[in-house]
Structure 1
């Protein structure tokens, strides 16, 4: 469903969970929310199709390769990689298995903790990333930045920082995907 929630009158909002009346979204907020959800779904689909076509991988795999390319010695603990991608360890394990099958990533035992594993970006994986980056950045630029004024880019950046800062987990015991 592309709405925060629906009451019996068809109005949208988010239930507070406290038993109090939910603070339903105004018509204006609902329009913005639906535009945001629609645009993010279309953007993710656009980037996924471009990467599948040009590099033979979904957008999530590209993001994993980027994280590894930016890590020291192109290695990361699997739990940190899952945290960075905001996915479950199970989903990461499946993704890394596919990347390993392509020869782009390799798993290694963690030298400091025998229970843990690192993911390592191979030279072949780095080369795939290097070749696919220009097409990906062009897809991002064409889909988003070429359509916005410089002021809108700054506004979007400010808005996304506010949202991200508010949602960044502060409770280490929270039910977070990368801990599952």
Structure 2
């Protein structure tokens, strides 16, 4: 991973190969399953849901566009194109930032709130049934530990896009418990 070509390649053994293939299939298929569930039940994509969820977690339902892109681990241009499409659906809008007037904030509209509130129960049910119900609490702890360590290793090489997620939601009253955002 460090670009040093003088080290011999450490090939995967048969057990590691089987684990890698199972993980690779999961990595490729699970996001598609999330997308299919949201399309089927809510007529929105996982990326649209992700934007709405992050905004719904901010007490003011708004966030600077750059911070939102950072939170999602996306390039600003990707977010900009998506926000443009979401604006045409009326679920978000861009406004001048309250912080300095130069930047733009992405704001959840009333239609956006309605969309995330309608989509969240089905999405959370899918996540619970697909990820948490098949595992014991102990297995959930192990999964969290493994994912955290893998992510930290990748982040150490500077390859994890969301390595430093922004916590910059404009201050306001906190969300009610149980509000969308998962």
TM-score where L is the length of structure 2? 0.79
Give the total of aligned pairs.
Answer: 161
Cα gap change, 1:114 to 1:23, in 2 (>3 Å): farther
Shift of 1:170: 8.6
5 Å-filtered alignment, 1:129-140, equals 129-140=116-127
Secondary structure at the counterpart of residue 115 of structure 1:
coil
Gaps of 5+ in 1: 1-14
Asked which structure has the greater RCO (Cα within 8 Å, sep 6+), the reply is 2
Shift of 1:175: 9.9
Is residue 100 of structure 2 the alignment partner of residue 100 of structure 1? no
In structure 2, what is the Cα distance between the partners aligned to 1:18 and 1:131?
50
Q: Which sits farther off after the overlay, 107-116 or 82-91?
A: 107-116
Gaps of 5+ in 2: 163-182
In structure 2, what is the Cα distance between the partners aligned to 1:66 and 1:47?
14
More strand by share: 1
5 Å-filtered alignment, 1:79-158, equals 79-158=66-145
Is residue 53 of structure 2 the alignment partner of residue 73 of structure 1? no
Considering only aligned residues, what root-mean-square deviation do their CA atoms show, in Å? 2.2
In structure 2, what is the Cα distance between the partners aligned to 1:48 and 1:116?
30
TM-score where L is the length of structure 1? 0.80
